[in-house]
Amino acid sequence: MSRALSRERAKRGQRADDRRAETPLVWTFDGDFATCLFDMEDTLRRALVQVGEVSRLAVMIELSLPALSARVAAGDAIQPSWGRFLETVASRYGLPHPPRVRHRTTKGPLATLWIAYRS
């Protein structure tokens, strides 16, 4: 009886390990806003090809508000580039949900792209 119980526990542990999330992929982007968006879209496309078929996928974009403010002060326009970027990402890549956008109040690169997936 104890052998069967230990085999069952081992199987459960193995299944839990199979469902474990992989380490997220992270890229940072800096420079003018439109170029960052084009680079981010290209990186997203390449990353989706790299991870292949996965059971779950989450995409998050972090925008640094101080860096964005500096870009706007330098003359960069946020729209229409941002709207086109979100529309393209939502329609072209078959993501189950649009990317989550989180705003940071700390200095750093303009944008950080996070891709988390589970095999």
The whole-number mean pLDDT for each consecutive block of 10 residues of the chain, a chain of 119 residues, reads: 60 55 88 95 92 86 96 93 91 86 95 91
Evaluate whether residue 14 is within a structural domain: no
Terminal-to-terminal C-alpha distance of the chain:
33
Evaluate whether residue 2 is within a structural domain: no
Picking from 5, 1, 54, the residue whose alpha carbon sits closest to that of residue 25 is 54
> pTM higher than 0.85, yes or no?
no
pLDDT at 10: 60
Evaluate whether residue 1 is within a structural domain: no
CATH number of the CATH domain containing 112: 3.30.2320
Range of the domain at 27: 21-118
Rg (CA), the chain: 19
Domain count, the chain: 1
Evaluate whether residue 74 is within a structural domain: yes
Evaluate whether residue 9 is within a structural domain: no
